[in-house]
Amino acid sequence: MNASDGPSTPGAVVLPPEVSTGDAPLLRLEHVSKAFPVQSSKLFTRGHEFVHAVDDVSLEVRPGETLGLVGETGCGKSTLARCIARLYDLTSGSINFAGTDISHLSRRQMRPLRSEIQMIFQDPYGSLNPRRRVGSIIGDPFAIHGIDSRTERKKKVQDLMERVGLNPEHYNRFPADFSGGQRQRIGTARALALRPRMVICDEPVSALDVSVQAQIINMLKDLQDDFGLTYIFISHDLSVVRHVSDRIAVMYLGHIVEVAPAAELFEKARHPYTRALLSALPVADPDAADNRERILLVGEIPSPTNPPSGCRFHTRCPKARADCVQTDPELETAFDDGVAHLTACLHPLAIDEDMSLSRPQIDDSEIAAAPDPGPSDSTGDTP
Ligand SMILES: Nc1ncnc2c1ncn2[C@@H]1O[C@H](COP(=O)(O)OP(=O)(O)OP(=O)(O)O)[C@@H](O)[C@H]1O
Ligand code: SF4
Ligand SMILES: [Mg+2]
């Protein structure tokens, strides 16, 4: 692993020259963790324990690329997104955006950067005030940043409405007058108002019908080209992420367990968790569906308040061995993969390996939960 543009901290996921745009990364995360203090759930125990929502995540995102982020519910995708947008303070680690270390900037110091990193949410209706007209909702960012006269603002808002496929004549309507897909377009227009460089899309199409999902995804792709945007695209649905992403990072219990160029992840997933997620995807061809490997993961997702020791996936992994209980694997290249494909597994899968034949080789007595280490730094959130 090496960066073309300077030294990187060990463990950071760095794009190799062959997939690099030649530009410096727009975003670099180094060992980012976020733990939430919660009331202890243990009987007869007072005080706090910590939800380790994001744990030691290192990633880079290049200008103009789309990084997909997938994983089951509760694995930490939204928490990571909110850390990047600095809606949450970090517990530890650092975030560098466009050459600036934003890890510890105050709310006031972050203000000029807020326009550069925007978020689009799953439920735009929840973030659209039902009593305000769409024109003023989309125009808010201009007003907050003291940009433009009222007439100029209206013109800019109507231009934006047109760019996201809304009728500019509907400037005076209320959110309730729009469909789910149109509301997502309103949320997108608002996010784009101040011409951000990075947009974090957190499950932007999960609440929409499949036909509308495709329209919104196409719109996001067009806007990426038009505005030169860099996306982090979050979804629990790998088939959606596949369509939009240049690279995909897979998360499990707060860790990134595999990251690879999108097509490569689908062709040769190395991590047992990724392979299990892929095996659950629907297949259009019935013959292919009959022949393919199906992997049923046993057991519940462990609690992030007390994650398993060693590899966090060992309690559910069909390939788990004794060393998996002790050693937390680093993200690194497996077999002859290129440096763009990294896997955190002590026993990565060979391409032709049939994981449905694997059985764990550990006793229940070996499955131990690690003691809660607690956070190493502040856990306060930026409101
Ligand atoms: N403010 C909070 N306080 C305490 N725990 C939290 C808080 N926010 C998130 N969590 C916990 O952190 C973990 C990660 O949550 P997060 O919302 O980031 O997951 P996710 O991957 O986005 O899930 P989903 O796919 O359901 O959106 C979960 O166990 C969640 O309950
Ligand atoms: S390290 Fe062990 S438990 Fe973890 S994914 Fe690899 S084989 Fe499974
Ligand atoms: Mg989420």
Task: Specify if 291 maps to a domain.
Answer: yes
Task: Specify if 374 maps to a domain.
Answer: no
Under a CB-based contact definition with an 8 Å cutoff, are residues 253 and 75 in contact?
Answer: yes
Cα 78 to ligand 1 centre (Å): 7
Cα 381 to ligand 1 centre (Å): 14
- Alpha carbons 290 and 223: distance in angstroms, whole number: 39
Kindly provide the b/e burial profile for residues 173-210, where b requires at least 16 CB atoms within 10 angstroms of the residue's own CB. bebeebebbbbbbbbbbbbbbeebbbbbbbbbbebbee
- Alpha carbons 15 and 20: distance in angstroms, whole number: 6
Q: Token pair of 268, please? A: 């040769």
What distances in angstroms separate CA 130 from CA 127, 137, 287, one per listed residue?
9, 10, 49
Task: Specify if 168 maps to a domain.
Answer: no
Which residues, other chains included, contact 249 with Cβ-Cβ below 8 Å and sequence gap of 6+? 13, 59, 67, 68, 69, 70, 256, 258, 259
Task: Specify if 184 maps to a domain.
Answer: no
| Ligand having the closest approach to the CA of 75 | 1
Provide the 10 A C-beta neighbour count for residue 276. 21
Task: Specify if 310 maps to a domain.
Answer: yes
User: Model confidence over 141-192: pLDDT tens digits?
Assistant: 888 877 768 888 899 999 999 999 999 999 999 999 999 999 999 999 999 9
Under a CB-based contact definition with an 8 Å cutoff, are residues 28 and 12 in contact?
Answer: yes
Q: Token pair of 229, please? A: 């945007």
Q: Which atom of ligand 2 is nearest to the CA of 321?
A: 2
Beta carbon of 183 within 6 Å of any ligand 2 atom: no
Cα 258 to ligand 1 centre (Å): 20
pLDDT of residue 11: 43
Q: Number of helices and strands (H, E) in the chain?
A: 12, 11
Beta carbon of 88 within 6 Å of any ligand 1 atom: no
Choose one of 40, 48, 77, 273 to mutate for the ligand 1 pocket test, by most ligand atoms within 8 angstroms of C-beta: 77
Task: Specify if 55 maps to a domain.
Answer: yes
- Alpha carbons 180 and 182: distance in angstroms, whole number: 5
Q: Which atom of ligand 2 is nearest to the CA of 272?
A: 5
Under a CB-based contact definition with an 8 Å cutoff, are residues 378 and 89 in contact?
Answer: yes
Which residues, other chains included, contact 259 with Cβ-Cβ below 8 Å and sequence gap of 6+? 13, 59, 247, 248, 249, 250, 331, 340, 341, 342
User: Model confidence over 61-102: pLDDT tens digits?
Assistant: 999 999 999 999 999 999 999 999 999 999 999 999 999 999
* C-alpha angle 22-119-192 in degrees, rounded to nearest 5: 75
Under a CB-based contact definition with an 8 Å cutoff, are residues 58 and 13 in contact?
Answer: yes
| Structural domain span for residue 285 | 17-116+196-366
Q: How is the chain split among helix, strand and coil, in percent rounded to 5?
A: 35, 20, 50
* C-alpha angle 266-271-272 in degrees, rounded to nearest 5: 100
Q: Token pair of 108, please? A: 């006031």
Element (H, E) at 220: helix 210-227
Choose one of 345, 366, 367 to mutate for the ligand 2 pocket test, by most ligand atoms within 8 angstroms of C-beta: 345
| Ligand having the closest approach to the CA of 272 | 2
CA dihedral 310, 311, 313, 318 (to 10 degrees): -100
Task: Specify if 8 maps to a domain.
Answer: no
Cα 243 to ligand 3 centre (Å): 19
Total number of domains in the chain:
1
Find residue 163's DSSP bridge partners: none
* C-alpha angle 294-298-301 in degrees, rounded to nearest 5: 120
Task: Specify if 179 maps to a domain.
Answer: no
Beta carbon of 51 within 6 Å of any ligand 1 atom: yes
Provide the 10 A C-beta neighbour count for residue 24. 17
Sheet containing strand 100-101, strands side by side:
48-61, 27-39, 92-97, 100-101
Tell me the pairing of strands 27-39 and 117-120: unpaired
> What number of CA atoms fall less than 13 Å from residue 294's CA on the CB side?
8
Q: What is the pLDDT along the chain (383 residues), one digit of tens a residue?
A: 333 333 344 444 444 433 344 568 999 999 999 999 998 766 666 678 999 999 999 999 999 999 999 999 999 999 999 999 999 999 999 999 999 999 999 989 998 898 999 999 987 677 789 999 999 999 988 888 777 688 888 999 999 999 999 999 999 999 999 999 999 999 999 999 989 999 999 999 998 998 899 999 999 999 999 999 999 999 988 989 998 999 999 999 999 999 999 999 999 999 999 999 999 887 766 666 666 667 778 788 899 999 999 999 999 999 999 999 999 999 999 999 999 999 999 999 999 999 988 888 987 666 544 444 445 444 444 43
| Ligand having the closest approach to the CA of 77 | 1
Is residue 299 left, alpha or beta, with left meaning phi > 0 and alpha meaning psi from -120 to 50? left
Q: Read off the CATH number of the domain in which 320 is found.
A: 3.40.50.300
